[in-house]
Amino acid sequence: MQLNYRDSKPIYEQIKEGIRRMIVMNVIKQDEKLPSVRVLACKYAINPNTIAKAYRELEEEGYLYTKSGKGTFVADAKTARQSLTRNLKILFDQVVTELFVLETPVEELKTRMDDAKEQDIVLSNGAYSGINKPFKTLEEVGKISDSVYRQKLSLYGCELDIYVFKTHSNIWSMLMHNAPIIVFLMLINVFFPLCLLRIFNHSFTSRILQLSKVFKSVDSEKLVSMTDRESKDEIGSMIKNYNRMVSRTNDLIQTVYKNKLKEQEMLVSQKNAELLALHSQINPHFLFNALESIRMHSLLKKENETADMVEKLAIMQRQYVEWGNDAVTVAKECEFVKAYLALQKYRFGERLNYNIDIEADCMECQVPKLTLVTFVENACVHGIESKAAPGWIFVRIFKKAGFMHIEVEDTGSGIDPDALEK
């Protein structure tokens, strides 16, 4: 049942006619329960009072009956026929009255009644559902093909298209008859989807495969970028981000490669330096052997001073060579200073006197190489050498307030005040 909300006929009248039509055409069987007022109102989005009014008038006309607490049901066929007859008579009286008012002759009305009685029923779904039109065979009214016939009918305001198939028609004939429709449906459901799939495959799947291919090049030394077609979908955005990542990664690879080359160059330079150091360690051995030979020769000739000087020089040279880094202990630095001062003692004689005072806690402390001997040498050159009278050099190392103090003092002539101002 369909409602026309633009029709001038009230909604409840349309509902009445629809339910009445379904009852007369036996669409709704006898004693069949109708939907409730609320359900039907929700279905058609109308006021429940409208549905109730239609049900109430149909019940008054004999088409429906109500059971308390159970709902509304279709009345029996006899009651429906009586109700239909009563309504038709009322309608007939109204039509005849209007025809009389229009001065229609009684003989014409009788003639039309006789003609209607002699006419055949073209469609029947019950004893009183014909529409009183001359009967026509299907071959006369609507032959579509050899096996299909069509008849148009107007029944209770509804336009109906009735299609009839011959009983002897088989599946093959039906397929041949509907071949154009089948071909059309195949084009819609097969050809068009294939075209869309090909377009989708070209625009989506191909790029996915390209991404999968370039991802396999991750193990290579240089990543390969993808061609960007300026697409604005998610795949295009992924390609742009991938190309950006490839560019940055390649830059990082180049940076790491260059750093690795530099590290290798530094390693080679370090190895060369170690090799040179090894050579420099080998060469002093020849010098030490030569100095030892000179010392032993001096001892054989009983030149003890010369032998002692050679020994002190050898000690200084050996200590210098054996230092493996830039820091040495205070004890080793003191041995170097003692050997240096002993040699200078042979040079200056009684003009040079020295005193070395080192606390025991300071012996294992680390100091830069040649720190102490540099200041001692400066004291000898500027303090003792320029003075004819005897002089002293005092070396003191001690700890105070958590710090190690180194003091080198000489009794020389000192520094010119003019030189200090400059």
Q: What confidence score (pLDDT) does residue 187 get?
A: 84
Do 57 and 79 reside in the same domain of the chain? yes
Q: Does residue 355 sit in helix, strand or coil?
A: strand
The dihedral through the CA atoms of 248, 251, 257, 259 has a sign that is: negative
- Here the tokens at position 222 are 């240089």
Do 142 and 62 reside in the same domain of the chain? no
Q: Which of 393, 311, 314 is nearest to 348 (CA)?
A: 393
In a domain, residue 33? The reply is yes
In a domain, residue 58? The reply is yes
Do 43 and 93 reside in the same domain of the chain? yes
Do 165 and 185 reside in the same domain of the chain? no
Residue with tokens 């409730």: 36
Q: What is the CATH number of the domain that holds 60?
A: 1.10.10.10
The burial class, CB within 10 Å (0-12 / 13-18 / 19+), for 64 is buried
The radius of gyration computed from the CA coordinates of the chain, to the nearest angstrom, equals 63
What is the domain range of residue 157?
Answer: 136-170
> pLDDT 10s digit of each residue in the chain, 422 long?
667 777 778 888 888 888 887 877 777 888 888 888 888 888 888 888 988 998 888 888 888 889 888 899 988 766 666 766 777 788 888 888 888 888 888 888 787 777 665 544 444 433 333 444 444 555 545 565 666 667 776 655 566 777 666 655 567 767 777 788 888 888 888 888 888 777 776 666 777 777 777 777 666 656 777 766 666 677 777 778 878 887 888 788 788 878 888 888 888 888 777 666 555 554 554 455 555 666 666 676 677 777 777 777 666 666 555 545 667 888 888 888 888 788 777 777 888 888 999 998 899 998 887 778 788 888 887 777 777 788 888 999 999 888 999 998 888 777 766 665 65
Task: Report the DSSP beta bridge partners of residue 404.
Answer: 399
CA distance 322 to 280: 11
In a domain, residue 231? The reply is no
Q: Which of 184, 227, 176, 181 is nearest to 206 (CA)?
A: 227
Q: What is the CATH number of the domain that holds 373?
A: 3.30.565.10
Q: What confidence score (pLDDT) does residue 322 get?
A: 55
Cβ contact 38:72 at 8 Å: no
In a domain, residue 325? The reply is no
- Here the tokens at position 411 are 């009794």
**What residues contact residue 214 under an 8 Å CB cut-off, 6+ apart?**
223, 224, 225, 226, 242
In a domain, residue 256? The reply is no
**Reported pTM:** 0.32
How do strand 352-358 and strand 391-400 relate by DSSP bridges? parallel
In a domain, residue 280? The reply is no
CA distance 243 to 234: 14
Do 189 and 156 reside in the same domain of the chain? no
Do 416 and 346 reside in the same domain of the chain? yes
Q: What confidence score (pLDDT) does residue 289 get?
A: 53
Task: Report the DSSP beta bridge partners of residue 161.
Answer: 152
- Here the tokens at position 324 are 């493996």
Q: What confidence score (pLDDT) does residue 222 get?
A: 64
In a domain, residue 301? The reply is no
In a domain, residue 31? The reply is yes
Neighbours of 185 (CB within 10 A): 11
Q: Which helix (H) or strand (E) holds 238?
A: helix 234-300
Name the DSSP class of 167: T
CA distance 98 to 96: 5
Tally the domains of the chain.
4
Neighbours of 58 (CB within 10 A): 23
CA distance 52 to 358: 123
Helix axes 37-44, 48-60, angle to 10 degrees: 130
Do 159 and 201 reside in the same domain of the chain? no
